[in-house]
Amino acid sequence: MNYASTPLSVTINIDEIRSHFPSLHQKVNGYPLVYFDNGATSQKPDVVIEAVTQFYSQQNSNVHRGVHTLSQKATDLFEEARITVQKFINAKSSNEIIFTKGTTDSINLISSCIAHAPLLWRGEGGEVLISTMEHHSNIVPWQMLCEETGALLKVIPINDQGEIIWEEYLKLLSNKTKIVAITHVSNTLGTINPIKKMIDEAHKKNIPVLIDGAQAVPHMKVNVQDLDADFYCFSAHKMVGPTGIGILYGKEKWLNAMPPYQGGGSMIKSVSFEKTTYNDLPYKFEAGTPHIEGVLGLAKAIEFINGIGIENIQEYEHELLAYATKHLLEIEGLKIIGTAKEKASVISFVIEGIHAFDIGTLLDQMGIAVRTGHHCTQPLHERFNISSTVRASFAFYNTFSEIDRLVDGLKRIKKMI
Ligand code: PMP
């Protein structure tokens, strides 16, 4: 069934875009694939796949190490990629762009190093402030830091719509708060947090703020200088780039104030058995051989996104979200978890009487990929008194007719069970 004509304001050439994603043109269990698990990882366009292949077939060599031509070529491409990332999020300097394994690694870098930087972590004890809707990656590293330092983990509560309770946030911010670590967009609820306002409030008390941007950067314009974020973390694989590569953005003054995360090659200026001196930023935080092809693929992913325009992506995905929300709610017994006013293109839901796992399995048999479970947000699910949800998360290559297939599939499942 086709529920509606395509909304008018769509500014995206969807067929052209989809033609660049080879993985989207396959059948799964006999049906054309509908991929709605973009929150977990996105599919990759041909330009990203080619960049990775081309590195291994033509430029393969280590970076920052050799005088030979291939190594210099690889180093040039690698450092150009850093500038591409810098411009994409409007960082002041490329020294503030650290290549990591991903969001998780970026957060762990900060949680491991911050307590060793007296400029950032003053005195004993204190508190780390996170929110109820954090991904496990933005909970567990802080719990580990609290165990090590004796700091307390404090949690900002959310309302039934899945929004931060502003007054509670203000109450929890105090001269004990050492850092606020908050997600920009919830991977389960889709809530877009008012992080600019939150950063402003924290800065009034000289508290640094780390933003988990894993679900934001692929879907909206992020400008770290405008936000005045102290640290901003994201992963390439959720924004049509390769796996195993991500970014830690940090203000230069804070990155300079912290000791290195790991020791090894590249992060040093000189080594002797008596004394080692560390390299300048960004290399101080990039020990060992990096994920070179991942970095080159990430640069191509950003170019691809820039080619479409992140504002166009945001607008189109917003329409997908509105369309899906409207039609999913027509299904009797379906409840959406996460109804914030400001939402990105993620819908988590439950259907009365049917387990999320069964829904996911039956949808898969119809060629529709969704995520089921707690999506690495167990405490958030506890907040809503549920153990699991079904999550459909959309990307700019998804279509309205794919949403129709999801809605039809769910109606069939309701009849079956
Ligand atoms: N934070 C959020 C909000 C996420 O959605 C994810 C990935 N699901 C992560 C952190 C962790 O990202 P990665 O696995 O790429 O390190």
Query: Does residue 38 have its Cβ closer than 6 Å to ligand 1?
Result: no
Distance of CA 271 to the CA centre of its chain: 36
Which tens digits make up the pLDDT trace of 407-416? 999 999 999 9
**Residues 216 and 184 sit within 8 Å (Cβ to Cβ):** yes
pLDDT at 10 > cutoff 70: no
| CATH architecture of the domain with range 49-306 | 3-Layer(aba) Sandwich (3.40)
Percent of the chain with pLDDT over 90: 95
Which tens digits make up the pLDDT trace of 40-70? 999 999 999 999 999 999 999 999 978 999 9
**Residues 243 and 47 sit within 8 Å (Cβ to Cβ):** no
Q: Does the active-site annotation cover 376?
A: yes
- Ranges for all domains in the chain classified under CATH 3.90.1150.10: 14-46+309-416
Confidence of residue 3 (pLDDT cuts 50, 70, 90): very low
CA 314, 316, 317, 321 dihedral sign is positive
Which tens digits make up the pLDDT trace of 292-345? 999 999 999 999 999 999 999 999 999 999 999 999 999 999 999 999 999 999
Query: Does residue 191 have its Cβ closer than 6 Å to ligand 1?
Result: no
Helix (H) or strand (E) holding 77: helix 69-89
Query: Does residue 388 have its Cβ closer than 6 Å to ligand 1?
Result: no
**Residues 231 and 207 sit within 8 Å (Cβ to Cβ):** no
How many whole angstroms from 346 Cα to the centroid of ligand 1?
14
Which tens digits make up the pLDDT trace of 252-298? 999 999 999 999 999 999 999 999 999 999 999 999 999 999 999 99
0.85 exceeded by pTM: yes
154 vs 124: which has the higher pLDDT: 154
How many whole angstroms from 104 Cα to the centroid of ligand 1?
6
The Cα 329–Cα 334 span in angstroms is 6
How many whole angstroms from 218 Cα to the centroid of ligand 1?
12
Looking at the domain covering 14-46+309-416, what would its CATH class be?
A: alpha beta
Closest CA to 406 of 6, 37, 23: 37
Which tens digits make up the pLDDT trace of 207-242? 999 999 999 999 999 999 999 999 999 999 999 999
Identify the three-state secondary structure at position 390.
strand
How many whole angstroms from 275 Cα to the centroid of ligand 1?
37
- Best of 107, 185, 188, 215 for a ligand 1 pocket test (most atoms within 8 Å of beta carbon): 215
Nearest-atom number in ligand 1 for the CA of 212 is: 1
Query: Does residue 59 have its Cβ closer than 6 Å to ligand 1?
Result: no
